[in-house]
Structure 1
Amino acid sequence: MNLPEAFKEKMKNLMGESYQDLLDSYDKPESKGIRTNTLKLTPKELAGKLPFETQGVAWCQEGFYIDHEVRPGKNPYYYAGLYYVQEPTAMAAVEVLAPEPGDWVLDLCAAPGGKSTQIGAKLQGQGLLVANELVNSRAGILSTNIERIGIKNAIVTNEFPERLVDSFYQSFDRILVDAPCSGEGMFRKDSGALADWSLERVSRCVGKQEKILESAHRLLKPGGVLVYSTCTFSPEEDEQIIEAFIHKYDYELESIELPGIDDHGRVEWTLNYEQAIEKTLRIMPMNVRGEGHFIAKLKKTAAGSEQKEIKQGYSKSRLKKASRTELLDYRDFAKNALEKSFYQGFEERLYLLGEHLYAIPAGIALETIANLKLLRTGLHLGTFKKNRFEPSYALGMALKLSEAKNVCDLKDEAQAYQYLKGEALNIRAEKGWILVGYDGHPLGFGKASEGMIKNHYPKGLRIRKK
């Protein structure tokens, strides 16, 4: 690999005898992995379904290594949301964050969604996940991935981190900052990261990271946990930025122990020889099977609390509580197509955004999020058309087949691909909306009539070929 000379010189000076091991690691194939979506099945059940070989990831019981030549995104199980394609060391940060059902969790730099979907699976539908992404195009990808995985209790925002503070000041139990960085751990898998790298880029990233961490501090509850991670090896973006943060704010670095990872942050790479940096993790590609990560776990002390600023006032939310009359078509659909056990739990949380119907997460006050750019506000149930309600892709992926009254569970892979391409299925079924699945798990909705199932798989997600 043709590495930048400035990068090689920098790492040679930092790493000494282990520098050659780092260089040699770049000549090996990238490490690829998938992570089980435990909202839908167990890791053992997933391994039994897959047509390719897997090997467990030591630090993440839901994770698997796969061969670098496997194309896991071309399998119907991927479209069914049974797994997320994720580099193995990238799974470690959420394991350190350790969210629990009922927590309010913020993923502050969330696209494309690997860590957000991992958090959502750990929450198991309880509590709140706010997944934020500043770049609009990437935020759309994030929202789609959250829908594919079947997460019901997520809000997706497209904002600068500081814009979230007014709405969610000291609201979160746990925050993940997977910071935008110079991407040195992406060199083997992303030629763009290699081409864009420079010492100037490292410096620019430090400025962004400092600003993001300042917002994270204001969003975290006293006593809450903040996990900071990057996929770079630069001390300026790793040890040094955490050293500066704990000197500025009242946080304690907590020790991190993950199976299979023994390397820690380097005190000698800090500016003031901060001993607490030993508690961070530095995951290097020559020491583990993976691309590399840096992770710090910080606990906000009670002394870190600050006076809440006076708000400038809220906008009126575009979401409005749906009236009984407005919900007639939806309730007719739900009665005929869904089991009551699925929808009765959010009957009091149904809100309209134009023609779109959402089940918003419990505990959210609409006025507090009215000023934010929202891409997704809880579970999108569907859209009101003229004299009918049309269920959404998100609803289909959030369901289990047992929660729908009319189901077509495909067993033939060719038929699954036929549906994913957007083609009609020549299958007789009871007239009306039908949840189409593959091997026990939903793919989306269709509408049965005249001896066939008309396809309602979203056009933007349809595949062209296997």
Structure 2
Amino acid sequence: MTFAPSSPASPEPRCLPEAFVQMLLSRPQGRALVEALSMSEPEVSVRIAAHRGLGMPQLVDTAPWNARLAYLSGRPRFTFDPSLHQGLYYVQDASSAALPTVLRHALIQADINPDGKLRVLDACAAPGGKTTAVADALGSESTVVVANEYDRTRAGVLVENLQRWGDPRIIATCADAASFGVLHDAFDVICADVPCSGEGMMRKDRDAVAQWSPALVRDCAALQRRILLGLWDALRPGGVLIYSTCTFNTAEDEDNVRYVIDELGATPLSTGLENMPGVSPGCFDEGLMPFPCTHFYPGIARGEGLFVAALRKDGDSVPTVQDDDMRRPKSFKRKSAAKTQPVPEAVRRMVRGDMSWSTDAAGIITAAPPAVAAMAARLADAGLRVILEGVEVGTIKGRDVIPAHALAMSQVIDCDAFVKAPIDWREAVSYLQRNAPILPEDTPRGIVLLTYQGRPLGFAKNLGNRANTLLPANRRIISPHVPDAPENVLAAVGVMPAGDE
């Protein structure tokens, strides 16, 4: 029995590989899954930011596994919605949004406080949806989340999305996930959404259909075990591993979880999803002892394909964070860093909270919570490439400091440190296209924080007779088109930003 309305029909049925179809048909719900992958289109959903003060009315069409996930009736032109660029929501598949529920449920079973001071690694993080969802689910300001991506191009996308989300507790690295084993017992939680054969993405990505083969499945399963083996030493005893793929076959899913249990030493935990409508249990060969794990099947759950399992590493539980670990580091620098320059007091006032500060050789000023600075230093000293830590505040240019766009997006910006200029939807879209903003005549010269619906959108520099945009070129809307009517996804799902102008 399917949970939820039927997905939209596909305009052109997909021809699935025969060996893949036979594998699916061996499962109790296989025929419904084959029909969904062949004949239907994915639904569209967004996850509302938990850290931006946005409410979630009861009437939102939401998922039972994440109350902040809202389904949309169609696919809007997200690019032209300034709220997306402000980090107020994330366009995310509904199945993937189940990870926060799995994580919190697993932590409680492992006697770990989800709102305590945690060290979390998202080992295969790009494009950032799961990282931001996990960070939103963990309450402590002293928690640190490390988001890693091996591929450099995807790592760049990850950084953009993390900066847009604006959580200063997140560090990004670009490294082989298996290399984190050099950090022994460093993390309370490791989320491993490993590279896979992509069977669950066949409705979204026709390349996933074209590239599928039994050999690809075998290669992916071997790669996943190498990653798991490398990550295992980085997880402290008593810590939690959340293992997930976007595929269906047992070689990449149940068999790899059993490998961790039997060979590495782990206890399976409930995912907390077992009694929710639309989700399915694991698949096990006859004679093998089953363990808790969860599948999301398109056409049965309202989302794309996902497999997820939670495990507790065997051994005596010792938290990674001791009280003395939370002290401010003597200096916020690494072995390869240039000597830190003094940070002007006016710049410090741009950021709220207790921060460690640094200025690199290029004059880029960064602020990070002390726990983030300490973890970033540890990662770099272990040879792992850190590409984002805390908040990029600005860049020294002669006697001036040009504020970074990342600061405008950050949760810790002090808006009262800037002259503010509210703009409407059409002006906001024009700014996001990197056109020069038109400011009120009485706007003071200098740096101006542009706001849309009461929230920061970005910076401009008022020169008097004109204003220059400070929006980075890689953040611009490429299309020169401006729609006739505004896009407002939050209003469509019944969410109104607090402080709306």
1:403 aligns to 2:421 (yes or no) = no
**Partners of 1:432 and 1:244 in 2: how far apart?**
60
**Partners of 2:240 and 2:145 in 1: how far apart?**
15
**Residue identity in the other structure for 1:288:** A
**Partners of 1:344 and 1:110 in 2: how far apart?**
27
- Once the two structures are overlaid, the 10-residue window that deviates more, 447-456 or 110-119, is 447-456
- Once the two structures are overlaid, the 10-residue window that deviates more, 175-184 or 400-409, is 400-409
Residue matched to 1:225: 240
Q: Of 411, 415, 430, which aligns to 2:444?
A: 430
Residue matched to 2:323: none
1:215 aligns to 2:230 (yes or no) = yes
Q: Of 54, 75, 79, which aligns to 2:81?
A: 75
**Residue identity in the other structure for 1:345:** D
Given the superposition, is the C-alpha separation of residues 232 and 409 from structure 1 closer, same or farther in structure 2, using an over 3 Å criterion?
A: farther
Residue matched to 1:318: 336
Number of residue equivalences:
434
Q: Of 8, 16, 21, which aligns to 2:21?
A: 8
Residue matched to 1:110: 125
Residue pairs, 1:361-376, within 5 angstroms: 361-363=369-371, 364=374, 366=377, 368-370=379-381, 371-376=383-388
**Partners of 1:227 and 1:84 in 2: how far apart?**
21
Q: Of 206, 214, 218, which aligns to 1:203?
A: 218
Given the superposition, is the C-alpha separation of residues 344 and 187 from structure 1 closer, same or farther in structure 2, using an over 3 Å criterion?
A: closer
1:331-369 Cα distance to aligned partner (Å, 9 max, x none) = 33445xx3xxx44511x4435354222123423152552
Shift of residue 379, structure 1, vs aligned partner: 1.4
1:224-271 Cα distance to aligned partner (Å, 9 max, x none) = 1110011100111111111111000221101122333442112337xx
Residue matched to 1:263: 280
Residue matched to 1:385: 397
Task: Please tell me the root mean square deviation across aligned C-alpha atoms, in Å.
Answer: 2.4
Per the alignment, in what secondary structure is the counterpart of residue 52 of structure 2? coil
Shift of residue 55, structure 1, vs aligned partner: 1.5
- Once the two structures are overlaid, the 10-residue window that deviates more, 353-362 or 56-65, is 353-362
1:74-115 Cα distance to aligned partner (Å, 9 max, x none) = 311101110000000011123211253532110000001110
Q: Of 259, 268, 278, which aligns to 1:253?
A: 268
- Once the two structures are overlaid, the 10-residue window that deviates more, 138-147 or 61-70, is 61-70
Q: Of 208, 216, 222, which aligns to 1:193?
A: 208
**Partners of 1:110 and 1:123 in 2: how far apart?**
17
Structure number with higher relative contact order (C-alpha < 8 Å, ≥ 6 residues apart): 2
**Residue identity in the other structure for 2:46:** I
Give ranges in structure 2 of 5+ residues lacking alignment.
1-13, 105-113, 319-332, 483-501
Given the superposition, is the C-alpha separation of residues 316 and 29 from structure 1 closer, same or farther in structure 2, using an over 3 Å criterion?
A: closer
TM-score normalised by the chain length of structure 1: 0.87
**Partners of 2:142 and 2:471 in 1: how far apart?**
28
- Once the two structures are overlaid, the 10-residue window that deviates more, 417-426 or 19-28, is 19-28
**Partners of 1:2 and 1:165 in 2: how far apart?**
41
Percent identity over paired residues: 29
Given that 1:407 and 1:437 are in contact with CA atoms closer than 8 Å, whether structure 2 keeps it comes out as no
Residue matched to 2:453: 439
Residue matched to 1:461: 475
Given the superposition, is the C-alpha separation of residues 353 and 176 from structure 1 closer, same or farther in structure 2, using an over 3 Å criterion?
A: farther
**Residue identity in the other structure for 1:24:** E
Shift of residue 407, structure 1, vs aligned partner: 4.3
Given the superposition, is the C-alpha separation of residues 146 and 175 from structure 1 closer, same or farther in structure 2, using an over 3 Å criterion?
A: same
Residue pairs, 1:6-405, within 5 angstroms: 6-12=19-25, 14-15=26-27, 18-26=29-37, 27-44=39-56, 55-98=61-104, 99-100=114-115, 102-123=117-138, 125-166=141-182, 168-258=183-273, 259-268=276-285, 273-275=288-290, 277=291, 279-302=292-315, 317-320=335-338, 322-324=340-342, 327-328=343-344, 331-335=345-349, 338=350, 342-346=351-355, 348-352=356-360, 354-363=362-371, 364=374, 366=377, 368-370=379-381, 371-399=383-411, 403-405=415-417
Given that 1:179 and 1:209 are in contact with CA atoms closer than 8 Å, whether structure 2 keeps it comes out as yes
Give ranges in structure 1 of 5+ residues lacking alignment.
48-52, 306-314
1:33-81 Cα distance to aligned partner (Å, 9 max, x none) = 1001112132428x9xxxxx95211110111111343333431110111
Given that 1:426 and 1:451 are in contact with CA atoms closer than 8 Å, whether structure 2 keeps it comes out as no
Given the superposition, is the C-alpha separation of residues 410 and 445 from structure 1 closer, same or farther in structure 2, using an over 3 Å criterion?
A: same
**Partners of 2:316 and 2:413 in 1: how far apart?**
49
TM-score normalised by the chain length of structure 2: 0.81
**Residue identity in the other structure for 1:263:** S
**Residue identity in the other structure for 1:138:** R
Given that 1:401 and 1:437 are in contact with CA atoms closer than 8 Å, whether structure 2 keeps it comes out as no
**Residue identity in the other structure for 1:126:** S
Residue matched to 1:309: none
Q: Of 417, 428, 432, which aligns to 1:420?
A: 432
Given that 1:401 and 1:442 are in contact with CA atoms closer than 8 Å, whether structure 2 keeps it comes out as no
1:390-445 Cα distance to aligned partner (Å, 9 max, x none) = 11111110047763333435352101111111112221312221211211221111
Higher helix residue share = 1
Shift of residue 209, structure 1, vs aligned partner: 0.6
**Residue identity in the other structure for 1:281:** T
Given the superposition, is the C-alpha separation of residues 204 and 297 from structure 1 closer, same or farther in structure 2, using an over 3 Å criterion?
A: same
Given that 2:101 and 2:272 are in contact with CA atoms closer than 8 Å, whether structure 1 keeps it comes out as no
Per the alignment, in what secondary structure is the counterpart of residue 247 of structure 1? helix
**Residue identity in the other structure for 2:462:** A
Shift of residue 164, structure 1, vs aligned partner: 2.3
**Residue identity in the other structure for 2:354:** G
Given that 1:54 and 1:66 are in contact with CA atoms closer than 8 Å, whether structure 2 keeps it comes out as no
**Residue identity in the other structure for 1:38:** A
